[in-house]
Amino acid sequence: MDDRRYEAVRSRDARFDGEFFFAVTTTGIYCRPSCPAVTPRQRNVRFYPTAAAAQGSGFRACRRCRPDAVPGSAAWNVRADVVGRAMRLIGDGIVDREGVAGLAARLGYSARQVQRQLNAEVGAGPIALARAQRAHTARILLQTTGMQAAGIAFAAGFASVRQFNDTIREIYGMTPTELRAARPASGRSAAVATGGADAVSAAGVPLRLAYRGGYDTGQVFDHLERRALRGIEEVTGLPGDRTYRRTLRLPGGHAVAEVGESARSGSGWLECRLHLSELRDLTTATQRIRRLFDLDADPYAVAERLAAEPAMGALAALRPGMRAPGTADPHEMAVRAVLGQQVTLAAGRHLGAALVAAYGTPLPAPSGGLTHLFPTADTLAGASLEELGMPGARQDTLRGLAAALAGGTVALDPGADRDAAEKALLALRGIGPWTAGYLRMRALGDPDVLLEDDAGVRAGAALAGVPLEEAESWRPWRSYAVHHLWNAAQTLSRGEPPGAGAAGMRRPNPASTTLAEGPDS
C-alpha cells in the first residue's frame, strides 16, 4: 500500500488529494500527494489518512501546496459505519457545538468508543480532527478578511486567543500575523473587509471550494436551477456564467451563500462567497455547501465502477464530471420531497414557494430575490397548510413528517444511520419507497441509491440501452448512475445528439417519458 501511495506522490497525482497525506521526516512538513515540491526519498516519507493525524505526529502544513485545502475523502460518504458517520458530523461542526459527548450521543456510542475507533481508523480523535478544522477556518479568515486576530479566534471556534495562537504556530509554523502576510496574491485581492465581524458579514467571506477530477458545472447548475425555490434560492446569469444563491439556516444564525458556475478549466475549485450573520458558522456553512455541490466525490472511482457494465460505462463516459447533488438542509429536502409527490417539477416548485411565503422566516433585509429562510420543522408540524391547496392526505403527510423531524423520530443529520432513517421514513403515513430512497440519496448523501422504480430512471435506461438488472455491479456508486440515467432521459427525449461514445442509443419519442420529480413520476 505504501509503495502505491509513494508512486502517487512521485507522479504528483491529484486524484489522491484528500484521500491521504504524506509527511517528510527530514523537513517536518506534510503535503498533499500532488505537491509540486521535489519528491522526497521514500525512506523519509510517512503516510497519514488525515491532516489531523499528520499534525498529531508533529508535522506542519506545507506552505506551497496547502494540504488543508484539499477536497474531503469520498470514503466518508460511502461508509455507513460509526467512523464514516463521525467524520461527517465532525465536518458539520458538532464537536465545536456539542463537544465529544454530543458527538458520541448522536452516534449511540460512548465517547471512549468513538475516540478509540477514530484513532484506529483515521489516526486522530474527535478533538484533534475538530482542531485541524478550526485551524483551517482560521487560516481562511486570516487570509481573506481584515478582521482582528481575536475576532478570528472565536469565529473559528477556539476557546481562547492563546489556544488560537499556539495552534496556528504548531500547524502552520507561523504566527497569525505571519500567516496573514503570507497569503497568496489572490487572497490579497479577495480580502473583503478591514472592520469587525459585521463588516465581514456584509461583504462576505470569499472561498475556493476544492474538488477532485472533472466537474460538470453545467449539469449541477441545471439541476439546481430547475428546482430553485423562489424566496430561498435563485440562479442568475446565463449558462456557463451563472451564480447560484441561497439562504441557509445555521446553528448560530443565518447566511446567504453564492456559488459561481464559471471556473477556469482545470482550476479544481468553485468560487464561493458566504455572507454570515455569525462568523462562527463558517465551517458548518462551508460543509453544507460542499454537500450540496457534491464536492468530495471521487469521479475516477465512479467512472471505473460504472464501466463494469458496457452500456452504462458508455453513458458515464459522456459526462465524466457528473455529480449527485445533495442538500444544504436535510429537513428542507424532506419537506420538498413530499411537496413534489405525484406532481410535475413546476407544480412542486409552486407549492414550495407558497410554503416559504406563508411559513418561512423573513430575512432581516432581502438579498436580491432571496427573502426568507425555509420554514422550520416545528413551524410546519403545527401549520394548517390550507394556503397550499394540496389534498388533505398530503397535508397530513407533511405535518406528520415535520413532527417526526422536530421530535427526532426521524434523524437526517449528517451522521444519521441511513438504514434507520429510511426505516423511520417508511413508517410515516404517505412516505413510500421512492420518497425514502430519494431522501437517502439527497438528504443523507448516500452515493449508493438506485431509484429503480423512478420513471425517469427507467426511461433513461430504456433509451440508452442500459440493463437495470446489472445495477449490482455499479455499487457503491449507484446514485451517480441515477443521475446519468436522468440526464439521458432528458437529453434523448428532446432529440439532442448524445455525443461521442453513445453510438447505438435510440432516439425516443419525446412524449414517451415523464420527467417530473416525485414518486412513480
Domain match, 104 and 186 both: yes
pLDDT (tens digit, 9 = 90+) per residue, 69-118?
Answer: 899 989 888 988 999 999 999 999 999 999 999 999 999 999 999 999 99
Domain total of the chain: 5
Residues 202 and 181 in one domain: no
Between the CA of residue 15 and those of 49, 72, 262, what are the distances in Å? Answer: 15, 12, 22
Same domain, 306 and 283: no
Q: What pTM did the predictor assign? A: 0.91
pLDDT score of 186 more than 70: no
317 and 288, same domain (yes or no) = no
Q: Are residues 82 and 168 in the same domain?
A: yes
Q: What is the pLDDT of residue 161?
A: 94
Nearest partner of 126 among 169, 82, 164, judged by Cα: 82
Query: Which residues form the catalytic set?
Result: 31, 454
| Domain end position, chosen among 69, 96, 117 | 69
Residue located via cell numbers 416559504: 356
| Predicted confidence band of residue 333 (pLDDT cuts 50, 70, 90) | very high
- Give the CATH number, domain containing residue 252: 3.30.310.20
Same domain, residue pair 40 and 84 = no
The beta strand positions in 204-352, using DSSP E, are 205-210, 233-236, 243-249, 254-260, 269-276
pLDDT tens per residue, range 32-47: 999 999 999 999 999 9
| pLDDT greater than 60 at residue 260 | yes
Domain termination residue (choose one: 29, 49, 69): 69
Q: Which helix (H) or strand (E) holds 5?
A: helix 2-10
Q: Looking at the domain assignment, is residue 439 inside a domain? A: no
- At residue 160, φ and ψ (nearest 5 deg) are -155, 160
What phi and psi, each to the nearest 5 degrees, are found at residue 403? -65, -40
Q: Which three cell numbers stand for residue 120?
A: 484506529
Identify the band that residue 203 occupies on the pLDDT scale cut at 50, 70 and 90. Answer: confident
- Residue in 193, 177, 210 with CA at minimum distance from that of residue 144: 193
Q: Determine the average pLDDT of the residues in 155-169.
A: 93
In this structure, are strands 361-367 and 29-31 parallel, antiparallel, or unpaired? unpaired
The CATH number of whichever domain residue 416 belongs to comes to 1.10.340.30
Claim to verify: residue 313 and residue 453 sit in the same structural domain: yes
Cell numbers 460543509 correspond to 287
Say if 518 falls within a structural domain. no
Does 289 lie in the same domain as 202? Answer: yes
Q: What is the CATH number of the domain that holds 162?
A: 1.10.10.60
Of 407, 433, 459, the position where a domain reaches its end is 433
Residue 438 forms part of a structural domain: no
Q: What is the 3-state secondary structure (H, E, C) of 412-432?
A: CCCCCCHHHHHHHHHCCCCCC
Average pLDDT of every residue of the chain:
90
**CATH number for the domain including 497?**
1.10.1670
**Quick one: DSSP state of residue 196?**
-
User: Are residues 186 and 78 located together in one domain of the fold?
Assistant: yes
- Residue 26, domain CATH: 3.40.10.10
pLDDT at residue 287 in the model = 95
Identify whether 340 is part of a domain: yes
91 and 161 co-located in one domain? yes
pLDDT given at position 493: 67
State pLDDT tens for residues 457-473. Answer: 999 999 999 999 999 99
> Model confidence over 335-358: pLDDT tens digits?
999 999 989 999 999 999 999 999
Residue 306 sits in which domain range?
A: 301-324+449-512
pLDDT of residue 2: 87
Is 443 contained in some domain? Answer: no
Report if residue 170 sits inside a domain: yes
78 and 155 assigned to the same domain: yes
Do 350 and 212 belong to one domain?
A: no
DSSP one-letter code for 195: S
Kindly indicate the confidence band of residue 491, based on its pLDDT and cuts at 50, 70 and 90. Answer: confident
353: Cα separation from own chain's centroid: 24
Task: Determine, yes or no, domain membership for 121.
Answer: yes
**Is 92 within a domain?**
yes
* pLDDT, tens digit (0-9, with 9 covering 90-100), for 377-436: 999 999 999 999 999 999 999 999 999 999 999 999 999 999 999 999 999 999 999 999
pLDDT of residue 193: 52
